[in-house]
Amino acid sequence: MFDPSTRILVIDDMMTMRKLVSKVCKELGFMDLTEASDGALGWEALANAKPPIGLVISDWNMPNCTGFDLLKRVRGDQRFKELPFVMVTAESENSQVIDAIKAGVSNYIIKPFTADTLKEKLEAVHKKILAGK
């Protein structure tokens, strides 16, 4: 699993969802969480973070900048192209999942989800990172 000191950016336009994801992350032992209410604010938080963000957990459907648009922007920036990025969404259509995979998403979680699901997906992302080293 990721180191508990990993800085996590949680992005969702619904405050209740941000709080839920943050709560689960804290239950998993993570201590450094930053939240943003849309992809544009998420990009600002990511680009200006000191110390840097180590994991992004983002909703897909948001105003101003969707999670999918943010993912493409993150993958297009040399600084963040390897950054673990997990998409959390109610969208379960195969075409969207395929689009997210093609854009470089690290993993995909369909709402509603459980704490165990989030933990499993984060563990899978971490294993991929270790396998790539």
Expressed as residue numbers, the domain containing 94 is 8-132
pLDDT tens digits, 63-112? 999 999 999 999 999 999 999 999 998 877 889 989 999 999 999 999 89
Assess if residue 2 is contained within a domain: no
| Average pLDDT over the chain, rounded to an integer | 95
Angle at which helix 115-132 crosses helix 15-27, to 10 degrees, equals: 70
Assess if residue 1 is contained within a domain: no
pLDDT tens digits, 31-62? 999 999 999 999 999 999 999 999 999 999 99
Assess if residue 106 is contained within a domain: yes
Q: How many domains does the chain have?
A: 1
Assess if residue 3 is contained within a domain: no
Residue 132, pLDDT > 90, answer no
Q: Provide the pairing of β-strand 33-36 with 55-59.
A: unpaired
pLDDT at 105: 98
Angle at which helix 94-103 crosses helix 67-75, to 10 degrees, equals: 20
